[in-house]
Amino acid sequence: MNCFESFQVKPGSRVKLDKIDPGFTDCYSDREKAIPVIQKLDERIRALQYLMYAEGKRALLICLQGRDAAGKDGTINHVLGAMNPQGCTVTSFKQPSQEELAHDFLWRCHKVAPARGHIAIFNRSHYEDVLIQRVHRMVPESVWSKRYGHINHFEKLLSDHQTLILKFFLHIDADEQLKRFKQRIDDPTKHWKISESDYTEAAYWDSYTQAFEDALDKCSTPHAPWFVIPANHKWFRNLAVAAIVTEAMESLNMRFPKPRVDIEAIKRKYHALDAQDIKEGLIKVRKKNQ
Amino acid sequence: MNCFESFQVKPGSRVKLDKIDPGFTDCYSDREKAIPVIQKLDERIRALQYLMYAEGKRALLICLQGRDAAGKDGTINHVLGAMNPQGCTVTSFKQPSQEELAHDFLWRCHKVAPARGHIAIFNRSHYEDVLIQRVHRMVPESVWSKRYGHINHFEKLLSDHQTLILKFFLHIDADEQLKRFKQRIDDPTKHWKISESDYTEAAYWDSYTQAFEDALDKCSTPHAPWFVIPANHKWFRNLAVAAIVTEAMESLNMRFPKPRVDIEAIKRKYHALDAQDIKEGLIKVRKKNQ
């Protein structure tokens, strides 16, 4: 299947999350069938990352959003973690600092936007400002309602700078979320990150659904599409994200830049010599020129 | 073997690079024997990285230095690239910008020092300022000669902030370097990064040796040791770096922090319920409190 097409939120459409099956796994019956496919995609992503770096013309911004335990960290760890950390930065957007709050909501995101040739992964993103801030009424509607427009303009700015933008909503249901909370409780290496708010946030499930749907509807544009990824099965989530990243990067038709030097001339000049010859020859030239 | 001990530059010693065999491979006869060992070390590093993040008390700074083609990028790609990019940043120190040059030489490095719980990898580092700047006489001796002291104080500052500092000099000989230049010429995907200066820098081989030896002698301290890694064989270089990182992180005796909540109470309160119960129960509580 073409994951890009299948999971993209078509611009102008109205998303109803409860009509999208979070347990969908396409033609893959189980994890074992998916693993080799994911590994191949990961290798391809790494090659495309190298090409993007070499070409130095384009950038890639990946935004990950989803409810608690939807798998944002897991996606980074198992799929996007396959990237070379050189040339790839991950920023986790947590509670804003005093300095960040003293600026507009896009300031802290713009600072860490990817440079040409580079990849930036946002674990949560500027969308927090129309999600948690809206659900918990941290700012009035008159403020958050204007943010969708600001987000679209900001993403257009990045896109006009040759930044490919891919935004993933990792879609799980309430039962899967509770199951994952229970697994955390059973794993002593995860106890340190458990807080009661994991559970109390569940009371806001429907408000979050509304806020996510609005963000998906208003901000899935041709230049910065949203994807709703069925994420109850971690392996299918990984496969779908890897496939979309690969498809999107392939479509850029990137090329290695031409060499800055005459490769054949370099060969003739140096490759008949051995290391000692080069060293001594060059030292002589250097001394003569001094 | 204990790689930490074997390759560490003992504080106060005098390094003679031409007395250190860059082709050394310890008891490993070939790459195939080393690969499974490296894979195990990589897994262990990843687990230690997670523990460091969870504990949130310590940081790790890894500096990579070496001549052109010594394998700095390769080490990041194949060993340190095994780390989760979330919580690990790589900074490549290139020619300084105008803004960087307008500050002291440590300013740009300090900005990207690792925060508690995080890992920073420096591809080249503040040592460039006593290497290329010294060899090419970009600053007078009166300037660069003071920098060793500044570096030691800077590293002590980071160390006092619980930053583990590991500095690797990737040691190759001139023949190996020329061999790698030739391999680049034979690989069209690498032509874009070839420049004639790769070869002309060879004339400065001995000046670089002197500058490296001075940096190793003056700046290998108990809190920020230098390691000279035999790096003619890429697989042995990877093994040695991975082993030293693992040994050093193990020695920190890090522990998962205590949970912030009473795990048993959370279990009793929520885990008999299903997701729907939680949602409805909490919504009721929320409404009552409004």
What are B168-217's pLDDT values in tens digits? 999 999 999 999 999 999 999 999 988 888 888 888 999 999 999 999 99
Structure tokens at B116: 């508690």
Query: Is A224 found in the same domain as A150?
Result: yes
Mutate one of B73, B123, B189, B191 to test the A interface: name it (highest A CB count within 10 A). B191
Instruction: Indicate if the pLDDT at residue A78 is higher than 70.
Output: yes
Rounded to a whole number of angstroms, the distance from the CA of A12 to the nearest CA of chain B is: 31
* B contacts of A73 (beta carbons < 8 Å): 86
Q: Are B127 and B65 in contact (CB under 8 A)?
A: yes
Give the pLDDT score at B143.
95
Query: Is B231 found in the same domain as B267?
Result: no
Give the pLDDT score at A53.
96
Give me the phi and psi of A119, to 5 degrees please.
-120, 135
Taking alpha carbons only, the member of B209, B144, B139 closest to residue B174 is B209
H or E, element range at A289: helix A275-289
H or E, element range at B105: none
Residues of chain A with pLDDT > 70, as a percent, come to: 99
Task: Report the chain A residue with the minimal C-alpha distance to residue B273.
Answer: A178
Query: Is B155 found in the same domain as B280?
Result: no
- Which regions in chain B score pLDDT beneath 50? none
What are A232-276's pLDDT values in tens digits? 999 999 999 999 999 999 999 999 999 988 998 888 888 777 877
Give the pLDDT score at B279.
76
Residue carrying structure tokens 């078509």: A10
Query: Is B241 found in the same domain as B202?
Result: yes
Give the pLDDT score at A289.
67
Query: Is B232 found in the same domain as B185?
Result: yes
Residues near B66 by beta carbon (within 8 Å), at least 6 away in sequence? B72, B168, B169, B170, B171, B172, B231
Q: Would the CB atoms of B189 and A257 count as touching at under 8 Å?
A: no
* B contacts of A111 (beta carbons < 8 Å): none
Taking alpha carbons only, the member of A79, A179, A86 closest to residue B89 is A86
Does A179 reside within a domain? Answer: yes
CA angle, B237 then B238 then B244, to 5°: 90
Q: Are B15 and B217 in contact (CB under 8 A)?
A: yes
Structure letter (DSSP) for residue B257? P
The domain containing residue B118 runs over which residues? 3-250
Instruction: Indicate if the pLDDT at residue A73 is higher than 80.
Output: yes
Does A103 reside within a domain? Answer: yes
Instruction: Indicate if the pLDDT at residue A285 is higher than 80.
Output: no
Query: Is B116 found in the same domain as B239?
Result: yes
Give the pLDDT score at B290.
62
Query: Is A236 found in the same domain as A269?
Result: no
Mutate one of B123, B199, B288 to test the A interface: name it (highest A CB count within 10 A). B199
Does A255 reside within a domain? Answer: no
Query: Is B175 found in the same domain as B66?
Result: yes
Could you tell me the CA-to-CA distances from A115 to A119, A275, B97, B108 in Å, in that order?
8, 37, 15, 18
Does A118 reside within a domain? Answer: yes
Rounded to a whole number of angstroms, the distance from the CA of B11 to the nearest CA of chain A is: 31
Spatial strand order of the sheet with B119-123 comes to B88-92, B119-123, B59-66, B163-171, B226-230
Which is more confident, A231 or B86? A231
Q: Are A162 and A59 in contact (CB under 8 A)?
A: yes
Q: What is the average pLDDT score of chain A?
A: 93
Mutate one of A91, A197, A267, A270 to test the B interface: name it (highest B CB count within 10 A). A270
Query: Is A163 found in the same domain as A273?
Result: no
Q: Would the CB atoms of B89 and A86 count as touching at under 8 Å?
A: no
Query: Is A132 found in the same domain as A242?
Result: yes
Task: Report the chain A residue with the minimal C-alpha distance to residue B88.
Answer: A85
Query: Is B216 found in the same domain as B85?
Result: yes
B196, B260, B266: residue with CB nearest A266: B196
Predicted complex ipTM: 0.84
* B contacts of A119 (beta carbons < 8 Å): none
Taking alpha carbons only, the member of B264, B252, B273, B57 closest to residue A191 is B264
Q: Would the CB atoms of B86 and A81 count as touching at under 8 Å?
A: yes
SS3 A281: helix
Count of other CB atoms within 10 angstroms of residue A139? 15
What are B260-274's pLDDT values in tens digits? 889 988 888 887 778
Q: Would the CB atoms of A261 and B205 count as touching at under 8 Å?
A: no
Task: Report the chain B residue with the minimal C-alpha distance to residue A273.
Answer: B178
What are A131-180's pLDDT values in tens digits? 999 999 999 999 999 999 999 999 999 999 999 999 999 999 999 999 99
Q: Are A117 and A83 in contact (CB under 8 A)?
A: no
Instruction: List residues bridging with A175 in a β-sheet.
Output: none
Does B256 reside within a domain? Answer: no
Structure tokens at A281: 């020859």
Give the pLDDT score at B283.
72
Please report, for the domain that includes residue A196, its CATH number: 3.40.50.300
Instruction: List residues bridging with B59 in a β-sheet.
Output: B163
Q: pLDDT band at residue A96, thresholds of 50, 70 and 90?
A: very high
* A contacts of B278 (beta carbons < 8 Å): 174, 178, 199, 202-203
Does A12 reside within a domain? Answer: yes
Does A25 reside within a domain? Answer: yes
Taking alpha carbons only, the member of A25, A76, A207 closest to residue B46 is A76
Query: Is B274 found in the same domain as B230?
Result: no
Q: Would the CB atoms of A86 and B123 count as touching at under 8 Å?
A: yes
- Domains held by chain A: number: 2
Q: Are A90 and A145 in contact (CB under 8 A)?
A: no
Which residues in B125-277 belong to E strands, given as ranges?
163-171, 226-230
Mutate one of A206, A279, A280, A287 to test the B interface: name it (highest B CB count within 10 A). A279
Does A256 reside within a domain? Answer: no
B81, B199, B279: residue with CB nearest A174: B279
Q: pLDDT band at residue A290, thresholds of 50, 70 and 90?
A: low
Give the pLDDT score at A115.
96
